[in-house]
Amino acid sequence: GQQVMQIPQYQHVQEGEDFTTYCNSSTTLSNIQWYKQRPGGHPVFLIQLVKSGEVKKQKRLTFQFGEAKKNSSLHITATQTTDVGTYFCAGPGAGNMLTFGGGTRLMVKP
């Protein structure tokens, strides 16, 4: 079945440093979604990428979808303590059920 993998599993950064998480799918995706889960919270939808090579920005966050639609990345510029949490990528399967990656847990030292 479809597998989605993320690296790294954890990342500690100093506030103000940049952060990147990478996502790879075993199959070609129709779209890729990114979610953020704060400690003790639930996943919150951030963005969806649909087109091959697509790049989208949300303030300090930049999302990319690979040309082959099998990989994606999330880059945060100048991290802040409010960025703390686990970032998940997810790819849809039949019926829009999502296969989530294992997540990258971001910790920011002030």
Partner 1 sequence: GAGVSQTPSNKVTEKGKYVELRCDPISGHTALYWYRQSLGQGPEFLIYFQGTGAADDSGLPNDRFFAVRPEGSVSTLKIQRTERGDSAVYLCASSLFGRSEQYFGPGTRLTVT
Among 13, 84, 98, 107, binds partner 1 (CB under 8 A): 98
Residues 75, 64: Cα–Cα separation, whole Å: 9
Among 49, 61, 74, 90, binds partner 1 (CB under 8 A): 90
Q: Which is nearer to partner 1, 41 or 53 (CB)?
A: 41
| 97 belongs to the binding site for partner 1 (CB under 8 A) | yes
- Per residue in 92-109, is it b (16+ CB within 10 Å) or e — as a string? beeeeeebebebbbbbbe
Q: Which of residues 6-45 bind partner 1 (CB under 8 A)?
A: 31, 33, 35, 41-45
